[in-house]
Chain A
Amino acid sequence: GDSVTQMEGPVTLSEEAFLTINCTYTATGYPSLFWYVQYPGEGLQLLLKATKADDKGSNKGFEATYRKETTSFHLEKGSVQVSDSAVYFCASSGGSYIPTFGRGTSLIVHP
């Protein structure tokens, strides 16, 4: 079945640093790929998505590019803020419509 592997956290950065959170997937066919964010005490929120190879999803300064050749969907942001501190989940969704989530990566941003 589908699976998603994310880098282990926590990732600890200073404000304005560059962020990369790695994500790779295994799936049959051509899944859609997503990044969800979970702020403390809240539910998961869709951050960005890409539905086909070479698509770039972007939102709130975050970006991720669907790389079919490396089966990756790494999350990046050029300059993180304290308010970006949260847990980030990579997910893939094939024909079942139900997403398969990675374990999540905690991001801690210090002022």
Chain B
Amino acid sequence: EAGVAQSPRYKIIEKRQSVAFWCNPISGHATLYWYQQILGQGPKLLIQFQNNGVVDDSQLPKDRFSAERLKGVDSTLKIQPAKLEDSAVYLCASSLDYRDRVDYGYTFGSGTRLTVV
């Protein structure tokens, strides 16, 4: 089966600019996650969708970050305006259902590496 697709692979922007990342999960996966992975740290969950609804966005900096999954399939994560500390890899993951344990079919994409200068 095709994996989790993310684009772009790399992005360099200046601070205060905006940027958007796209994720297409595995077909049929109801749950989609966005993670932020800062260099030297483990991934941190930003937001979790179940179909087109938000399950958990408690760690999302809502003053500058937004995410949507309008049709319950692909998703977009946006940062506006970007700060230097937003430099990180943004990972998307999907699973069949959020009630699945993380060891069942929890698949990560390759990520988008964002550099803010």
Contacts and interface: CB of A to CB of B under 8 A. Distances in A.
Contacts, number: 57
A52 to B, nearest CB: 12
A108 to B, nearest CB: 15
Interface residues on chain B, size class: 20 to 34
Interface string A31-70: 0101000000111111001010000000000000000000
Contact of A89 (B42, B102, B107, B111): B42
A34 B41 CA distance: 16
Contacts of A49: 103
A32 B106 CA distance: 14
Interface residues of A, number: 22
A93 interface: yes
B113 to A, nearest CB: 9
A11 to B, nearest CB: 15
Interface string B84-117: 0000000101000011111100111111000000
Contacts of A32: 101-103
B42 A4 contact: yes
Interface of A: 4, 32, 34, 41-46, 49, 51, 89, 91, 93, 97-104
Interface of B: 3-4, 33, 40-45, 48, 56, 91, 93, 98-103, 106-111
